[in-house]
Structure 1
Amino acid sequence: MIFKQIEHMGKRLLVRILGFFLKQEKLTPKDVDLSCIRRILVIRQDDRIGNLILTTPLLSALRRLFPMAQVSYLASKTFHTLFHNSTLVDQIFVAKKRQYIFHPLSLVSFIRKIRKQTFDLAFDASDENNFSLNNSFLAHLSGAKYRIGYEKPNSSLFLNLEVPPSPLRRHAAEMHLDLLRFLVGNFEGDDIRIEVDTEKRDRVEEYLNQKNVSTDDFLIGINVGGRGKKRWDLENFTQLADWITDSFDSKVIFIWGPEEKSMIKGITLKNEERQILSDLFPLPVLAALTERCNLFITGDTGAMHLSAAVGTPTLALFLNSDPAKFGPQGKAHKIIYPSDGKIPVEIVKKEIKKIMKSRIQVKERTQ
């Protein structure tokens, strides 16, 4: 907490200082020569995996509209592996924020490495309602001729193409796509997607075989994570898992992340033949595991975005966030969003029953 407070104070001071020195020439889309765009940098060095996943439609659109361009991504050390071996990006730059605080010269070396690429276009892909000094400043330091992002307080210090925030309520993926639409005009965006490596699929299959889960088993993933008020009670998840394995011919795997390391100690497997507590996996393996699940039950978490992005039918429980902006898109997914911020277990059971009835291969178990 103290570190965060010091970080915020330092950022506010830095913005004030930079305000005396940075003056950007303001450009409009008419000033941009799209035919000369050969190197593109997308910046979202965020410690929340979902925010990176939500930028994938932008990456797909860049691939489609600038097929000859090299697309690079600047991500944080925490989740940069999300795009390893991805066809959406050609190169990944890994920002190590805390290292730069204690070793400033390493930041200088990092910036030099980026500037050597001579980028033509850089995207500050932060949220339209929240100014990110890290993303905006890195866009400026990249040396890109065109630096685009949403118009926010202080963004004019770093960007020369500012996009007015939209008054319309829309999905976060559309928010990122609108940055590109500002330059090239309207177009249809692709779905949110993450590619799964074949080797990671094989690793997951081997792991599940060791847990007595065959390829024919109907596997339901339950992610117990969530930040603060977004988190459904662990007791609710375990109660739901017990009901599922008692009611249906299926198996349940509890999935968790580093932040849930202490919490999962409270999970007791009632039926060890049908319930599994997963290991803690690297992100590319986690993507393969969520892809293997036939259904994924989760709060508004990074794992929710990952599940939907790999095409797994997802039942998302939204307790304290906006499903219109962050919910999984598509008919395969279902969102439960209560008006009072509470989701009883019985409501979730009803939705699961509906899902199970639509899947002939899942039989109700006889008691």
Structure 2
Amino acid sequence: DGATVDPPPGLREALEAQARIGWDAVHFAPRTPAQALQAWAEALARGETPSGRLEGIRMGSVAVGAASGPAPGIPAAEPAPLTEEVATVLALLAARRHDGVGRAREIVGAIAGEVAGGGGLLVRAAGLKAHDDYTHTHALNVCALAAALARALGAPRETADRIALAALCHDVGKERIRPEVLNKEGPLDPAERAEMERHPAIGAALLVDLADRMGPLLPVVAYQHHQAPDGSGYPAGTGRPHPASQLVAVCDVYDALRTARPYRGPLPPGRAATILLDLGRQGKLRLDYVEALFGALGTLGPGARVQLDTGEGGRVEEPGPAPLHPVVVTDAGQEVDLSREGEPRIAAVERVAPASHDAGGDGAENPGGEPP
């Protein structure tokens, strides 16, 4: 009923144990099963993080809603509280603090719940000019995109959550890069570029020390998310990146293009989608992951405007068997099924579908500049 009471000693001890592993809030639904309560208490007694799937129990450091209601998501109008929590978590992880682990998992749980419920995926805020603004909002968005993309590719919820956690932490190495390099408005000089390109190795080293609590995937993704399937990128010389690293890379590039930076404004979603498509066809990103992201976002749904490789423009009339193979009506009135062999393919996305999760801003002038 909203009343505040002093917990009995046994519960107080359990809550203190929960706080020690970095989760400082808990909500018990009415008629929570005894087995779930027992599993929660036993895990805390062992110093372990309780499962996030205990029926009737919600835990974390982000605001916790009723267990029977929808999971908290990314608040599109007021992203600040969750963004501030990300800032705190990345600082804790950069300091190799174990209390950042549970808090990172709670953020992922909040985002995964929003994604599973079909809610809005992305935080878009104008004027993200500082490293803290960009890095922490970007971490949220890449986490949300990665969760949605992993689910679109058929990953089980547990696997998708692990990938989303890796996505949330992929840039933790930037916590150790000088702000004047991160926030520079002009091109980086060779020394600054070399410093910037150290952030994957720095992040991996930080996360290796926490791998016993967070799992081995996180340092791998942190190290490889700027490596391309064709062997380019940095750090060099480690072979083909892990599939999770390639998935996070697609989300990383897309959100970087769509977010304001100190040296340019956000690219419109159609332009960002076109760059992603080009990078996929060049072997810099996995094309099947790019296509699946378009499907998750609804980029090429009905109403999207595209340019075909014949030079003709057209409008997506209906979905096809895959996102890059819809039925298109050209400006000349011809209906073209792009799933048929020998038909043209999409060369550019001029405007994403009106119902896309990232439809805002396609009418904006292309601000130019190179993607990061």
In the superposition, the TM-score normalised over structure 1's length comes to 0.26
**Richer in strand (by share):** 1
In the superposition, the TM-score normalised over structure 2's length comes to 0.25
| Structure number with higher relative contact order (C-alpha < 8 Å, ≥ 6 residues apart) | 1
